[in-house]
Structures are given as C-alpha cells and as structure tokens.
Structure 1
C-alpha cells in the first residue's frame, strides 16, 4: 500500500519523490491541509477508499498515512 500511496503523492499531488519517505513528516513532504483534501479525493478516485482529510491530518508521517490507508483498504475488502 505504501507504493500506491507514494505514486499518488508523486503523480497527483506533485510531491518530490525524494520527499516521500516513511519517516518524513507531512511538513517535510510538503503536505499541508489543502494537500490532505486533495489526497482524500485521490484515494477515493484511484482506490475507492473513503478517508477524510481530517483523518489524514492526524497522521504525523508519510508512514502513518500509509498505515491509515492500508487499514482503510482492509476494512473495505
């Protein structure tokens, strides 16, 4: 799931590939609150997952974002 999230961050949100690391904070990756709204929409469109931007904002790192997306995908399956 991390690789799918990484692809979305790079292609849809235009985050620099070098900034997408599991230990990177949202701020280090350039993911502000607007980016979380965009990510929420991209997750819905690309993966069919319903993850709110508020939930995404609770994640402190890219790795935590990936875990949240993975948990949501498991619930949807």
Structure 2
C-alpha cells in the first residue's frame, strides 16, 4: 500500500519521490490542506477507499496514511 500511495503522491500531487518515506510528516511531503482534500478524492476515485480529508488531516505521517488505507481496504 505504501508504493501505491507513493505513486499517487508523485503522479497526481507532484511530490518528489525522495521526500516520501513512512516516517515523513505531511509537512515533509508538502501535504497542505488543499493537497489533503485532493488526496482524499484520488484515493476514493482510483482505489475506492473512502478516507475523508478530516481523517487525513488528523494523521501525522505518511505511515499513518498507509495504515488508514490498509484499514479501509479490508472493509471495502
């Protein structure tokens, strides 16, 4: 799931792949509130994962976003 998220962040949100690690904070990968909304929409459209922008705002790291994605992919 990390590689999937990394691909989305690089291809859709134009984030440098070098910045994206499981430990990276949202600030490290330049995920501001607008980018978080866009990420939420992309996750639902491309992967069918319903993760609200509010939920994404509350997590601190890329690893936590991956954990949310894993959790939601099980319930889909």
Q: How many residues align?
A: 76
Structure 1 residue ranges, 4+ long, deviating more than 6 angstroms after superposition: none
CA distance in 2, matches of 1:34, 1:71: 23
Unaligned runs of 5+ in 2: none
Distance apart, 1:58 and its partner CA? 1.0
Matches within 5 A, 1:1-77: 1-76=1-76
Q: TM-score, normalised by structure 1?
A: 0.95
Aligned alpha-carbon RMSD (Å): 0.6
Distance apart, 1:16 and its partner CA? 0.6
